[in-house]
A and B are shown apart, each in its own frame.
Chain A
Amino acid sequence: MKNQNKITFSRRNFIRTSALASGGILIGFNFFTSCKEATAPPVDIAQLNFNDFNAFIKIADNGYVTIFSPNPEIGQGVKTSMPMIIAEELDVPWEHVSVEQGALDTNNFTRQVAGGSQSIRFGWDALRETGATAKQMLVNAAAAKWGIDASSCSASNGVITSPTGETLGYGDVVNDAAQLEIPENVSLKDKKDYKIIGKDATNVDIDKIISGAPLFGLDYTANDMAYVSVCRPPAFGQKIGSYDDTKTKAVNGVLDVVKFGDKIAVLASNTWAAMKGKKALDVQWTTDETLESTSDHDTKLNAILNGKDLDVRREDGNVKKAFAEADKILERTYESPFLPHNCMEPMNFYANVSNDKVHLVGPIQTPAGTARRIANLISREEKDIHLEMTRMGGGFGRRLYGDFALEAAEISNLTKKPVKVIFSREDDMAAGIYRPAIKYRISASLKDGKVTGYHLKEAAINSNMYGLIPHFFPAGAIENYKVETGNYRSNITTGAWRAPYTNFLAYAEQSFFDELAELLETDPVQLRLDLLKNVKDGEDPNIQYSAKRMTDTIKLAAEKSNWGKTREGVYQGFAAYYSHNTHVAEVVDISLKNGYPSVEKVTVAVDCGIVVNPTGAKNQVEGGVIDGIGHAMYGDFSFENGKPQDVNFNTYRLIRMKETPIVHTYFVENNLSPTGLGEPGLPPAGGALANAIKAATGQLLLKQPFISVLRKHEANLKA
């Protein structure tokens, strides 16, 4: 089995404690870098800072536990699951635990990024060690009180028990525990003894969400705050020329109009006035760059695929030879459009830049980096920047980029007023940092009923698949294998979008495998299993997926979906993909309604190691799968002379309830460290859907969104 990047540390280095002035103990821990020798957590809970610690555990003298974690919540449930891990080892009843979001004061908090589905994976060992250490301290304090050996005592559910049956609550010993040395040798629980991990825990913010309490960035207000609407160039490649704000200033509630860079900020006493004021601006835009259109991108990307100027990212064997000796060759080109993130909560940020301090509040996935960039932008010291994170109305990668926070800081710096920048939906879609348009050309050589060679070329806007992606399946499974990439630099901004690259790559490859299976006259599931037999786990350090785990996951999906044994009128498609350290296999069941596919059911098998919070985990998988289906089916976004062609949901189509399948999720049972779930459910969904549609209609889907292909297909049939 693969080593899950186990982090090793000495408890002395990463835990510090203090006795709270108000009673109780405060445990600060930092599991990414060692705590500095002299640092101690504050004695006043109002003074929490996350400079030296990642998170704090407060155990009050009534035994109740509060976990202060600055880990941002974007809807992945880490605000619930990470505290569950601490509470498990600390061994307190979950009902006695509350979780609070901490603010960020500086740039020292390295893993304060919600993205890449990695929070759980990196936190697993450290959170357990922290909980167990805290528990041992309490046990030691109780033993000292009783004057007996700590190893003869046990602790469970917030109560410490002596060999003679005497008991002390955690609250009874916290003040003593705060004075003790931090124990070095603690043992971790066995999975079979888990009481919290593996049980459903409702989202810790549930009561606030169902009652409409202020939680999100958009809900934040402060005294004298101006609401700001920003006018940005309508097309990529344009700059501001001249503008007339007479009509804007006549709008009731508009306070001020300021130009900054190539943008104009309209400050007002309410959101509506700010939006109206922006619409009333009369701006002359100038063009000094190329205004690009989707058709230009098509030409450029095709030229890359047809050209010789690609970078080799992985090469095994001799692909050229394999193709020269092949009986048959299959070659396909797959295309995808740009995609906006469309977080339900549009981008927004509050900033108050004053002489003594820079106060920032809002939804952001990268607080530390953003604070640093803001310090730079407005020439302030990083220590002056105080950034508070709010709950986020979705992220999907968009909130990794702090552009909106930088805008707020710049405007507040110019006007010396507290401001909140609010993107309208139109702003949000038009000033995006999009999933880049990409094309893949995949070819395979077949000989004697076997896949002998595999060659994948990627042509993308702005950047290419990163990290270990070229080593994902089928790397290692096919003797002659080559991945090459090239990109075209565009002035359209692009970035990470839920499961970057693999969100589209998985569809391309998994559709391709379906066709390969057809050519080989093999069952598509069997083809994957056969290929996986060629992979020896651990042989190639670059290959992170495990053939064994993938095989088990595929088998579970096939079994639970009744693969190959469906009712009349139901068609199935299969896909499996490893990404973000998690193995996923999916089977999509569709039927046809008036010739159009109706996606009825998706059966998902997931190996994400130990499942910390099953209800939260399933929610993530369901969301990822439906998101994958929705964007593969409907997601379309194009440019005409630098201008996005859709800016709101009247023309940009997102999947809605009537189009959603019911998702059935099954987890592979094992004792391995948990891995993330925010992303891995998405990549296989599009491929499994394409394969099901092909099974039902014979229509090959080489281009996303599928709906455009299906419409064309329908038009052709009618003609």
Chain B
Amino acid sequence: MASYNLKVNGKSVNINVDDDTPLLWVLRDELNLVGTKYGCGIGQCGACTVHLDGVAIRSCSVPISSLEGSNITTIEGLASDKLHPVQDAWKELDVPQCGYCQAGQMMTASSFLKQNPNPNNDDIRNAMNGNLCRCASYNRIEKAVALAAKKMS
């Protein structure tokens, strides 16, 4: 057990957990931020995607011990006073089926669009390829990322 300080969605938090605890379980079990999902635990599905200093990471594969002092954003903190354009686009195109993978999809998309505000279709397909959607809502995810890019420009 050790004590860690980090910023999650703009708020400072202090947690006491084992140092090998993945960020995913810190978020879900300690901080009750359950929007970040568990899908595989080995970095293969993207359901657990959050931002570390604005960049998408797989929270299931990052132990808390490497995150002291870092700045984390989860799906619960993606919107500011209004929805993030990615969330807007997701809503407008009615993307989700079961919805379980979608937080991870949106976190990947929002980080990607920050790096590449003007993506073409291949860019989008490459960027989103690491996020599984078992319901196969891929067509709409692809369209929603493009729409979000348009909204952001």
Contact = CB atoms under 8 A, between A and B. Distances in A.
Contact of A626 (B17, B41, B98, B139): B139
**B33, B45, B96, B131, most chain A CB atoms within 10 A:** B96
A391 to B, nearest CB: 7
Contact of A656 (B30, B74, B129): B129
B94 A203 contact: yes
Contacts of B111: none
| Tier of interface size on chain B | 35 or more
A393 B94 contact: no
Contact of B134 (A205, A272, A343, A424): A343
A649 B44 contact: yes
Nearest to B76: A212
Interface in B87-121: 87, 90-91, 94, 96-103, 106
B142 A394 contact: no
Given A212-B76, A270-B25, A649-B44, A346 B38 contact: yes
B31 to A, nearest CB: 11
B99 A391 contact: yes
A395 B134 CA distance: 10
B138 A626 contact: yes
Contacts of B128: 657
A251 to B, nearest CB: 9
Nearest to A251: B18
Given A227-B29, A252-B1, A272-B21, A211 B87 contact: yes
Contact of B98 (A253, A391, A425): A391
B94 A615 contact: yes
Given A210-B83, A211-B76, A272-B21, A394 B100 contact: yes
Given A344-B133, A622-B139, A393 B99 contact: yes
Contacts of A252: 1, 18
Interface in B17-35: 17-18, 20-22, 25, 28-30, 32-35
B64 to A, nearest CB: 10
Contacts of B125: 657-658
B132 interface: yes
A213 B128 CA distance: 23
Given A270-B29, A626-B136, A212 B35 contact: yes
A101 to B, nearest CB: 14
B65 interface: no
Query: Main secondary structure on chain B at its contact with chain A?
Result: loop
A663 interface: yes
B17 to A, nearest CB: 8
Nearest to B30: A270
A660 B136 contact: yes
B39 A344 contact: yes
Contact of A272 (B22, B47, B137): B22
Contacts of A215: 99
B153 interface: no
Given A394-B134, A424-B41, A622-B137, A219 B34 contact: yes
Interface in B65-83: 74-76, 78-79, 83
A271 interface: yes
Nearest to B105: A657
B56 interface: no
Nearest to A75: B98
Given A343-B98, A424-B41, A648-B41, 15 more contacts: A76-B97, A77-B97, A203-B96, A210-B75, A210-B87, A211-B87, A212-B75, A218-B37, A221-B34, A271-B38, A342-B134, A625-B136, A657-B142, A658-B129, A660-B142
